[in-house]
Amino acid sequence: MLMRTDPFRELDRLAQQVLNTTGTWSRPSAMPMDAYREGDQYVIAFDLPGVAKDAIDIDVERNMLTVKAERRPVTKADDVQMELSERPLGVFSRQVMLADTLDTEHIDADYDAGVLTLRIPIAERAKPRKIAIGGGSARKEISG
């Protein structure tokens, strides 16, 4: 149901994890995701811990699903001295090419406990269906 569009994006994602770089709007970091089919729906779950719900943007144009999110730094008092900062900040983005068999007009999005879950119904035209066999009568042509 999904098609990988850019194999180099995975290399960028791995490099960002190793180097712990911050994503920007022009060069966002990748976000981890799971994708699976559950009954008549396709489910995609994105890990976005610490991201506010209003900092998530979801777009679908044709069959390209784009999820962008920004994790902003927490404001601290002037007398706070940071000792360790390992949690990634900045912009995260992921683009997923959706198959034509998915109904992109009816995507449902939920955000709970740092996980954005998108549920995309399988289009009716893509669901398996039985074909009835008609009871035709044998026709005989008489030439005469």
Place 130 in a pLDDT band, splitting at 50, 70 and 90: confident
Q: What is the per-residue pLDDT across 9-54, written as a single tens digit (0 to 9) for each?
A: 666 656 655 655 555 555 667 788 999 999 999 999 999 988 999 9
Q: What is the per-residue pLDDT across 50-83, written as a single tens digit (0 to 9) for each?
A: 899 999 999 999 899 999 999 887 777 888 887 7
- Residue 11's region, left for phi above 0, alpha for psi from -120 to 50, else beta, is alpha
Distance (Å) of CA 75 to CA 51, 78, 103, 114, 137: 14, 9, 41, 20, 80
- CA of residue 75 relative to chain centroid, distance: 30
pLDDT at 33: 94
pLDDT at 138: 59
pLDDT at 41: 95
109-122 mean pLDDT = 96
The pTM is what? 0.69
Long-range contacts of 28-33 (CB under 8 A, 24+ apart): 28/68, 28/90, 28/91, 28/92, 28/93, 29/88, 29/90, 29/91, 29/92, 29/93, 30/92, 30/93, 30/94, 31/67, 31/69, 31/92, 31/93, 31/94, 33/94, 33/96
115-132 mean pLDDT = 86
pLDDT at 87: 76
Cα gap 89→16, rounded to integer Å? 12
pLDDT at 73: 79
Q: Please report which helix (H) or strand (E) contains residue 12, including its range.
A: helix 7-19
